[in-house]
């Protein structure tokens, strides 16, 4: 589904990704862990072309990814980035309407279905600023799903949420994973990564240090750097 060959990304003189190779198959749920600045976000952003790669290739579903953002990839951001001037329903309907030219009536049914899926049917006519962070992030997930993506990217989706709101977002993501969605998730939620993912990737200093099953990584990490990182996470978590 996703094939990444030796991608490098430089911001000026700073090399954030130093040669990443990665394959993700259909239906796979992959969590990317690593400290801030390890390149997690940049990797995700390169995948849907919010950043262009300095070198290397990315194939999405067998097609070479060009500068145009792929419509097959949905993205959920750390800071939600909902459109504040539109209602929840309008947020979800905007892209399918404007990009795919779908009719408003048909879309409305789909949008309400998506809202039901994230448990926010009754908030259809609310505006983003009337919602809690957790609710906003669930709307953001529904908005991304409205474009019927084949792959969903999550860029630290719970990092800007109050602790008591993290659970509701993770629940929605878990349900999505169980439905068979291909997902790549940058996260600091170790328990969630252990529970939901098929594979966990530990990124450090712009390279993949370890790529293994969650059991292997969390119970029996191979590399010293992975051990140090996990210990630090356990202490702070």
What is the rounded distance in angstroms from the CA atom of residue 115 to the CA atom of residue 136? Answer: 11
Under the criterion CB under 8 A, does residue 39 sit at the interface with another protein? Answer: no
Query: What's the CA gap between 35 and 187, in Å, rounded?
Result: 10
From CA 23, how far away is CA 235, in angstroms rounded? 32
If the CB atoms of residues 147 and 230 are measured against another protein, the closer one turns out to be: 147
72 or 210: CB nearest another protein = 72
Does the protein bind another protein through residue 83 (CB under 8 A)? yes
74 near another protein (CB under 8 A): yes
Tell the smallest beta-carbon distance from residue 103 to another protein (Å).
Answer: 17
Give the dihedral sign, CA 129/132/133/136: negative
Q: What is the three-class DSSP state of 192?
A: helix
Residues 6+ apart with CB under 8 A from 14: none
Q: According to the binding rule CB under 8 A, does residue 150 interact with another protein?
A: no
Contact residue for another protein among 99, 148, 175, 228 (CB under 8 A): 99
Residue 120 in the binding site for another protein (CB under 8 A): no
Q: Select from 63, 66, 79, 227 the one that contacts another protein (CB under 8 A).
A: 79
Size of the site for another protein (CB under 8 A): 25
Q: C-beta of 228: minimal distance to another protein in Å?
A: 32
Tokens at residue 151, please?
Answer: 């792959």
């Amino acid at each position: 589904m996703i094939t990444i060959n030796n991608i490098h990304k430089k911001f000026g003189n700073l090399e954030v990704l130093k040669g990443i190779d990665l394959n993700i198959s259909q239906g796979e749920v992959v969590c990317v862990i690593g400290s801030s600045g390890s390149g997690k976000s940049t990797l995700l952003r390169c995948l849907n072309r919010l950043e262009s790669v300095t070198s290397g290739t990315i194939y999405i579903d067998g097609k070479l990814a060009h500068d145009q953002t792929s419509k097959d990839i949905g993205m959920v951001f750390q800071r939600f980035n909902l459109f504040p001037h539109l209602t929840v329903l309008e947020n979800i309907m905007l892209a399918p309407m404007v990009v795919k030219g779908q009719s408003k009536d048909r879309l409305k049914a789909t949008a309400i279905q998506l809202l039901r899926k994230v448990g926010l049917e009754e908030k259809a006519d609310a505006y983003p600023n009337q919602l809690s962070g957790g609710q906003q992030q669930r709307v953001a997930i529904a908005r991304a799903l409205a474009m019927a993506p084949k792959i969903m990217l999550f860029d630290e989706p719970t990092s800007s949420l109050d602790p008591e709101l993290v659970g509701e977002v993770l629940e929605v993501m878990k349900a999505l994973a169980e439905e068979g969605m291909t997902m790549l998730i940058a996260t600091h939620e170790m328990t969630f990564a252990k529970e939901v993912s098929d594979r966990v990737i530990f990124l450090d200093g712009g390279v993949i240090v370890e790529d293994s099953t969650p059991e292997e990584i969390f119970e029996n990490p191979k590399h010293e750097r992975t051990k140090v990182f996990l210990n630090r996470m356990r202490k702070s978590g």
